Structure 1
Amino acid sequence: MTQLELPTDVRPPSVTVDLTCRQEALCRAWEAVCGYVEAYRAPDHGEDSGKDRDVDLLMVVFELVMNAHRYTEGPREMRLEMSDGKLFIEVCDGGWSSPWSPRIEERDATGGFGLGAVLSMVDGWSVVCTSWGKKLQVVVPLPH
């Protein structure tokens, strides 16, 4: 009897999360991200438990999901995919304006700081406009 050889380049399946209910959106998103990362991330072999990266991941998810509800209307969903030790988070919403538009700095501003925080925690980002809104994707490195 021969042993079955599994391909080494198998990717985890993508996961889609419905975020249309504002009251449940953040909780659903965070639970989905935690479950997905726990199920498919490579085991941590170092001293660092990856907790700092998990805090960064929470902040990225919070900012993307809350902005989709705060500034847009229409369909909202999040898609997760993992490849090469990186988590791809895509948030879809009904708005067409780019969240990365330059902002005029206001001396007494109390908000609008999320962009800088998100960009400092991700390896890359993109915005794709569609006929129904936009898809915002960020790439988050995961600890090995």
Structure 2
Amino acid sequence: MEERSPHQIRRLVLRDTTDAVTRCRDFTRDALTAWHWTETARDEAEDVLLLVSEVVANACLHAGGPRALQLDCTDERLRIEVTDGNPVAPAPRPRPDPGMPGGHGLLIVARLARSWGSVPTADGKCVWLEVDSPLRSPARRGPQSVS
């Protein structure tokens, strides 16, 4: 098995992409496979793919599409960053209708990520989230929280 370096970053730049969610999921799946998550932590890898889908879909629906996806992986955590051109910070809907599609993305992010948030950039924002790495011992994993 190939040795994993303690810190790896992968970046996908997106321009005028009509299939951004699919491209970002495929890019993330390839990275997780290279980092051996799909072999050793299949459930965590599926959660990461869902999280990427949600934040990229939000950028498509509310911000004119994502500009870039960055995956920053250490032995402690995976940080996912999606940049877009809309400066408005994301906020969960007060009470999405449980019987209707949509409006649940940030609730999923809050439930699955250990932390998430957004930071303004010169021309929009960066929405980020972090999940524990499956290589991190369970005793050192923190509680899930929203920042």
Q: 1:71 to 1:97 in 2, by over 3 A?
A: same
Q: Which has the higher contact order (CA 8 A, sep 6+)?
A: 1
For 2:38 and 2:48, the matched residues in 1 are separated by 17
Q: Is the 8 A contact 2:11 2:69 kept in 1?
A: yes
Q: Is the 8 A contact 1:72 1:95 kept in 2?
A: yes
Question: Counterparts in 2 of 1:74-93, with a 5 A limit?
Answer: 76-93=67-84
Matched, 1:72 2:63: yes
Matched, 1:127 2:118: yes
Q: In structure 2, what residue type is equivalent to 1:53?
A: E
Give RMSD over aligned pairs: 2.6
2:129 maps to what in 1?
138
Query: 1:109 Cα deviation (Å)?
Result: 5.1
Q: Is the 8 A contact 1:42 1:85 kept in 2?
A: no
TM-score, length of structure 1 as denominator length: 0.76
Deviations 1:91-141 (A, max 9, x none): 0001111112x5343657542111111111111112111120000110022
Q: 1:53 to 1:128 in 2, by over 3 A?
A: same
Query: 1:75 Cα deviation (Å)?
Result: 5.8
For 2:36 and 2:6, the matched residues in 1 are separated by 13
- In structure 2, which of residues 45, 51, 57 is the aligned counterpart of residue 60 of structure 1? 51
Q: In structure 1, what residue type is equivalent to 2:67?
A: R
For 2:107 and 2:66, the matched residues in 1 are separated by 25
Matched, 1:50 2:45: no
Query: 1:15 Cα deviation (Å)?
Result: 1.4
Matched positions, count: 131
For 1:39 and 1:85, the matched residues in 2 are separated by 17
State, as a whole percentage, how many aligned pairs show the same letter. Answer: 29
Q: 1:52 to 1:134 in 2, by over 3 A?
A: same
| Long gaps (5+) in structure 2 | 136-147
Deviations 1:51-106 (A, max 9, x none): 22222112101101111111012761111111123211100001111112x53436
Q: 1:113 to 1:72 in 2, by over 3 A?
A: same
For 1:60 and 1:43, the matched residues in 2 are separated by 15
For 2:37 and 2:47, the matched residues in 1 are separated by 18
Q: Is the 8 A contact 1:41 1:142 kept in 2?
A: no
For 2:69 and 2:134, the matched residues in 1 are separated by 22
Query: 1:36 Cα deviation (Å)?
Result: 1.4
Higher alpha-carbon Rg? 1
